[in-house]
Structure 1
């Protein structure tokens, strides 16, 4: 099945609120747990959360690593507004700073010790934008973890996965999950990209719908 690109930014208030009210605790906590398993020596440093959304992962990261400083970047002001409220509610303003920006054009004056991303890759026109961002913001020895969806072999399989994993969800979430599956990359596509770009990363399938890209830059 050919890839079908979806919209990059979430600006619709109803759509943003649907995401804010949804329970992503299991997959988001799994991102943090995977990072801990992959990089057990990390204790503190400056972290870039690319496409931070409502900051749920940034908040979980800050709780796991209270000495870390996290910069969350997202292109959607509506998402960042929700994210800031959550950060305030969790009393983590000293640990997490939010900045509006669209990768790979966004710039920052310092390099990062850690670069993480969840569900950003499939919003990008191509993986090149992700590689550019990593090269732009990582330093030698930076830890990198990217988690995203895998494109199914057919629209029928995408419908099956949508019905399986979005039961009881808001209709907008169902629609977006289906479109996100169609906009995602396959495992083989990412493997070829990593080889072509000569990146020091590995890619693995971690569920029937997710992959992770990881390594030390």
Structure 2
């Protein structure tokens, strides 16, 4: 395959810092696409930031996680979460899964993008709990946070972050993030029946049923209007 742009080569050996290029995430500048950046995980090599011409702008080492038992990390996957509150300000954030510390790590994105001197700044809170394990001994088994993606949903503000690890025999997947909404915007023929049962209303006067374990999100209902 021919390419128009190629980033500098990474080397997965001791001399190259065990940097293995893996998962990319593209942050798009809101007003000037030329300032957009590409954030790439490099496993034990940490993170790399490139502009749209493939030039490396920033190199972040896989530093120990900010917790008492933190060890040098392994940056596995990355995605972008927009508009999170960081220090009282809405901030776009690169979210990275760290396999060697079984946690998510967060990097504030400079709004100047490629024009900035430093594009990423870690803002992970100290003592963030493990994602899957309960002890450092469990983390050392490497059954830890692995894949990651962020999903923005149009019907409400905020993001849901999901991550997973390779599952062992007989294990079920785990999902984290904000709970799914108790109702959505579609109508249903069961409107009148649910209203007679005294279902709890959604914000704005629409009726719904609360989510129960194992149930799909319930449809949001328009109130019955008498003529």
TM over 0.5: no
**Higher helix share goes to which structure?**
1
Q: Per the shorter chain, which TM-score range?
A: under 0.3
TM-score by structure 2 length?
Answer: 0.26
The structure whose Rg is larger is 2
TM-score by structure 1 length?
Answer: 0.27
Larger RCO of the pair (alpha carbons < 8 Å, separation 6+)? 1
